[in-house]
């Protein structure tokens, strides 16, 4: 079955997976908040090495801040360092097990590492925590497509399209409809190993 990409993501799209950089997110000193904000700005410009530098400083000041580890994991993912990204997302989950974003991001890394069962387990957990996030359903649909399960992929893409529509995200709806059309036109296929996927540029 043709491998389907999912919505572009990156440090600039942290909100897309449920991570919102609002003052309420931070329980640390203002200096930590300013470092995190600088890291986001660096990432939005594509300078992920600088983002990691800022986040390293934030983690030194606040070693138990899950947001810092999550953002650093996103930066490492965009740098192609899947191993370090996986470690950071796992640490973020340990610090904030009820946060959906680290599970969603770790699922992306696990898919890159061809660990489809691990990726599916993570995105399922993310959906349990935040069942209204269309990005999670879109990504899970891509995982099912990787595995050749067209019925489950279609179901998830349809749910993602519904949630995107509720948010007024016409671009998201259009993309899900394109995925649905591709799957409906393809003959049923047996599951096959997924190929590596590279991080997409932020939209």
pLDDT digits (tens, 9 = 90+) for 32-89: 999 999 999 999 999 999 999 999 999 999 999 999 999 999 999 999 999 999 999 9
Q: Which of 96, 99, 121 is nearest to 109 (CA)?
A: 121
The chain-wide mean pLDDT, for the chain, equals 83
DSSP sequence for 56-100: HHHHHH-TT-HHHHHHHHHHHHHTT-HHHHHHHHHHHHHH-TT-H
Establish if 193 belongs to a structural domain: no
pLDDT of residue 185: 87
Rounded to 10 degrees, the C-alpha dihedral 105/107/86/63 comes to: 40
Establish if 190 belongs to a structural domain: no
Query: Cα–Cα distances in Å, from 79 out to 51, 72, 200?
Result: 11, 10, 11
Q: What CATH number has the domain bearing residue 137?
A: 1.25.40.10
Establish if 94 belongs to a structural domain: yes
Establish if 199 belongs to a structural domain: no
Report the predicted TM-score, pTM, of the whole model to 2 decimal places.
Answer: 0.79
pLDDT of residue 186: 76
Establish if 202 belongs to a structural domain: no
Cite the DSSP H helix spans in the chain: 30-44, 48-61, 66-78, 82-95, 100-112, 116-129, 134-146, 150-167, 170-185
Establish if 111 belongs to a structural domain: yes
Establish if 95 belongs to a structural domain: yes
How far is it, in rounded angstroms, from Cα 4 to Cα 57?
A: 37
Q: What residues of the chain score a pLDDT lower than 50?
A: 1-30, 190-203
What residues make up the domain containing 122?
11-185
Q: How many structural domains compose the chain? A: 1
């Amino acid at each position: 079955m043709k491998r389907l990409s999912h919505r572009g993501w990156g440090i600039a799209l942290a909100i897309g997976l449920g991570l919102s950089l609002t003052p309420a997110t931070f329980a640390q000193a203002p200096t930590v908040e300013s470092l995190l904000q600088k890291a986001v700005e660096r990432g939005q410009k594509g300078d992920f090495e600088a983002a990691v530098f800022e986040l390293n400083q934030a983690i030194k000041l606040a070693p138990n801040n899950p947001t810092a580890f999550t953002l650093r994991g996103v930066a490492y993912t965009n740098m192609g360092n899947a191993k370090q990204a996986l470690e950071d997302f796992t640490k973020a989950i340990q610090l904030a097990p009820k946060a959906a974003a680290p599970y969603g991001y770790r699922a992306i890394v696990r898919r890159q590492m061809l660990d489809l069962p691990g990726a599916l387990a993570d995105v399922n957990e993310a959906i349990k925590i935040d069942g209204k996030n269309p990005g999670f359903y879109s990504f899970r649909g891509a995982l099912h497509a990787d595995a050749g399960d067209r019925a489950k992929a279609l179901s998830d893409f349809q749910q993602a399209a519904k949630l995107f529509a509720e948010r007024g995200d016409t671009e998201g709806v259009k993309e899900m409809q394109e995925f649905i059309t591709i799957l409906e036109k393809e003959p049923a296929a047996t599951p096959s190993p997924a190929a590596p996927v590279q991080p997409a540029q932020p939209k």
